[in-house]
Structures are given as structure tokens and as C-alpha cells.
Amino acid sequence: MLSKPKIEVRPIQSKRELDDMYYQRWLVLRAPLGMHRGTEKDKHDKSAFHLVAVCEDKIIGSARLRQLSVELGSIAYVAVLSEFRSQGLGTKLIKKLIEEAQEKNLKSLRLMARINTLGFYKQIGFLEQGKIFDFMGIPHIFMYVNLPPSGDNAGVQ
Ligand SMILES: CC(C)(COP(=O)(O)OP(=O)(O)OC[C@H]1O[C@@H](n2cnc3c(N)ncnc32)[C@H](O)[C@@H]1OP(=O)(O)O)[C@@H](O)C(=O)NCCC(=O)NCCS
């Protein structure tokens, strides 16, 4: 019997992997909206922490963490290739970013959730805040989670 290919969730390791990650981000988050290559990047990417899920040398998932202030971080560009969804990969990416944020002593995390992914972030412990707004023609809402200190994850599911 063939064994399942191994999936690794870890930080970006090379320039080539960074480029592959942008392509995967574009495929999942921008191509379906008819947007061109390049629209998947922003000015904060250079200083941000990038996490990827890799299977047989292919980037199948990715997400970004960046620090907004001493206490607040933001998660963005959470993307899993459609054929790898509903296997816990998105959750694993977010939980690893939460650990990273705790190591940076951040106290809370914010993200802009597409409304149709609200349930995904809620099951991890994020809560909605404020009103629904439009971004790129898609309804979004801000969500937050407070982080317990490193090693104590009682508040986060
Ligand atoms: C949202 C996304 C990252 C989730 O990744 P995933 O690997 O499928 O997530 P998980 O397998 O960890 O999901 C765990 C649970 O979250 C919930 N969930 C996952 N995606 C969901 C969605 N789109 N809407 C509501 N609940 C969702 C489900 O309860 C799921 O459990 P189940 O598969 O047993 O039903 C993925 O669907 C994706 O890349 N979507 C397209 C891009 C996108 O919208 N990104 C977010 C931008 S804010």
C-alpha cells in the first residue's frame, strides 16, 4: 500500500520558495477574482513572517504574520489549494502563526476574514468585531483573538 505523502508546515526557506509561495497565494486568492499576477503582493511582505505547507516540494498552503504594534499582530493571505482543503491544514497554519506570535510576546491577533470563512476562524477562537465591509468586491469582517502567554493555550481552541 502507498503511504500518504508527507506534509510539512514551516517557515519559507529560500527565495525560490518565496516566489512559489506568491504564485500559490495568487492561484488561491487572486486568480479566481480575475486579478493579475503581482496583485497578490504588498509592501509589508518583505518584513513579514511567511509560513508554508509543503507536499512533495510543492507549496500547497501559506499564510503570513506581521507585527502591527508591540502588542498586536495581523494574519493575512491564508490560502490552501482546493484539493488539500478540509484536512486541517488551514487550522495548522493559523495555530503555528499563533505560536510564532506568542514567541514575539504579542497579546492579540487581528485578521480580515472573508465572510464565507467566518466559521473556519471561529473554530480556532477568533471573534468578529465591527461591521461587514467590502474589500475587492468581497464582504469581509475584522476578527480578533487574545493570546495567552507562550506555552498556555487555554483560550485558543
Ligand atoms: C479558508 C481555508 C484557508 C481553510 O483551509 P482548510 O485547510 O480547508 O481548513 P481546515 O481543514 O483546517 O478547516 C477546519 C474546519 O474549519 C471549517 N471551515 C473550513 N473552511 C471553511 C469555510 N470556507 N467556511 C466555513 N467553515 C470552514 C470547517 O468546520 C472545517 O472542518 P471540516 O473540514 O471538518 O468541515 C481554505 O478553505 C481556503 O484557502 N479558502 C480559499 C481562500 C480563502 O478564502 N482564504 C481566507 C481569506 S480570509
Give CA–CA dist 154/13, Å, rounded. 31
Residue carrying the nine cell digits 476562524: 121
Give CA–CA dist 105/151, Å, rounded. 11
- Ligand 1 within 6 A of 63 CB? no
The 10s digit of each residue's pLDDT in 100-153 is: 999 999 999 999 999 999 999 999 999 999 999 999 999 999 999 999 877 666
The 10s digit of each residue's pLDDT in 63-95 is: 999 999 999 999 999 999 999 999 999 999 999
Give CA–CA dist 146/11, Å, rounded. 23
| Predicted local confidence at residue 119, as pLDDT | 97
Instruction: Say if residue 155's pLDDT is above 70.
Output: no
pTM score: 0.94
Domain residue spans of the chain: 7-146
Q: Look at residue 63 and give its three-state secondary structure.
A: strand
> Which residues is 54 bridged to in the sheet?
8, 59
Residue with CA closest to ligand 1 atom 5:
90
HSE-CB of 32 using CA atoms within 13 angstroms: 10
- Ligand 1 within 6 A of 29 CB? yes
- C-alpha of residue 84 to centroid of ligand 1, in Å: 10
Could you please state the CATH topology (level 3) that the domain comprising 7-146 is classified under: Aminopeptidase (3.40.630)
Instruction: Say if residue 15's pLDDT is above 70.
Output: yes
User: For strand 108-114 and strand 72-80, is the pairing parallel, antiparallel, or unpaired?
Assistant: parallel
Q: What angle do CA 114, 117, 123 make, to 5 degrees?
A: 135
- Ligand 1 within 6 A of 94 CB? no
For a substitution probing ligand 1, which of 51, 55, 62, 86 has the most ligand atoms within 8 Å of its CB? 86
- C-alpha of residue 3 to centroid of ligand 1, in Å: 25
Instruction: Say if residue 154's pLDDT is above 70.
Output: no
Give CA–CA dist 63/47, Å, rounded. 14
* 7-16, 24-33, 82-91, 144-153: least confidently modelled range: 144-153
Give CA–CA dist 121/117, Å, rounded. 7
The 10s digit of each residue's pLDDT in 45-55 is: 999 999 999 99
| Predicted local confidence at residue 150, as pLDDT | 74
Instruction: Say if residue 156's pLDDT is above 80.
Output: no
